[in-house]
Homo-oligomer: A and B are copies of this chain.
Amino acid sequence: MAAELLVTKQRFETPELRTIGGATIRNVAVGYETYGELNAARDNAILVAHYFSGTSHAAGRYRPEDPLPGYWDAIIGPGKAVDTDKYFVISSDTLVNFNANDPDVVTTGPASPDPATGKPYGLSFPAVAIADFVRVQRALVDSLGVRKLRAVMGPSMGGLQTFEWAASYPDLVERTIPVIAAPNFNGWLTAWLSMWVQPIRLDPDWRGGAYAADAPPSAGLEAAMRAMTLHALHSAWTEGAGGRAVAEGADPADIASTPFAIEKALEQAARLRAPFADANHMLYLARANQTYIPGAGAGATSVAEGLARIKAPTLLIYAPDDLVFLPEWVEAAADILRGHGVPVETATLSGPYGHYNGIMRIAEAAERIAHFLARPI
């Protein structure tokens, strides 16, 4: 039996980040976790980037009694597809991390104190790009003595970071595994990201982003989380979550209420997570995704230009009923990369969770991932 992976959150600090938008952020800190050991040749490191509402907790448990392990624990650990007996895995929190109030998360964003005032930045925090998340990761990776990454991988927004790594640092990345992500998404995702977050700005407690830490726009944030979660699922999921049933004791004739079991399921999930999340961080994250261009960190100004910079062999993993990153975009990205001579293979994930199959059902692709990581380039 494989040993239980116990992990410790660590903190990476850099005194100053120059963003691709030209802003300077002082005292940048992000959390990170590592699994396994860097070998003497320093050639066994794999970087894992997290999804929109995720954290660096990709595998293992902080404490033996934690109810759940990290989100990709099914494929990361001793003897698993991303075998921590062989590889040194680095997983870091992004800037403007969704879960800014989670004690196990370290991030820098609008909820952080502005060194100039000692008060939270709020909307005076500069807009940041996915490429800025990757710049911080690059500094982290450097600080750990890693000079080349055997692979970069991640689901959803983690997949966008993966493409950014491959496009901006083509000589540092040996291979990539973007999961449930497409760098060439169209305005459909732009519009959906706006739809997710629109309840935040409607909540009077948002106060133009200048809410106090003890009076956050919780109703708007929870509504935004419900929209995000529903969009990231698919219809089969609802069968196991109440279907069309009215919740016990609820009355569908009461128009002011939310009587359906499926509503309660979404409400409860959002209510449990909202205290750890921050509304402004969600707005910044949405914008970072909307403005995404792979290779922006190296100056690319269009998706086509960014994709043309990619050299690393790529394993694209996607869910055919994904409503967030549409399969047609992933397939088009595969064709574009192949057109540039990049070796690309694809794998699909099944299951009732739509986009979230990239997290919930990643084990289906375990063997493909293990082979792709082990194969010589």
Contact = CB atoms under 8 A, between A and B. Distances in A.
Interface stretch (A57-65, A85-93, A138-146, A284-292): A284-292
How many copies make up the complex? 2
A328 to B, nearest CB: 8
Interface in A307-329: 323, 326, 328
Contacts of A244: 185-187, 190, 290
Contact of A123 (B194, B201, B255, B266): B255
A290 B202 contact: no
Contacts of A237: 188
A202 B188 contact: no
A260 interface: yes
B191 A230 contact: yes
Most B CB contacts (10 A, CB to CB) among A209, A244, A323 go to A244
A252 B246 CA distance: 42
A192 interface: yes
A138 B236 CA distance: 36
29 contacts: A110-B255, A126-B253, A127-B252, A185-B244, A186-B243, A187-B235, A187-B239, A187-B243, A188-B235, A190-B244, A190-B262, A191-B262, A191-B266, A194-B258, A195-B226, A195-B227, A198-B226, A199-B202, A202-B220, A208-B256, A209-B255, A227-B227, A235-B326, A235-B328, A252-B290, A252-B291, A255-B280, A255-B284, A255-B287
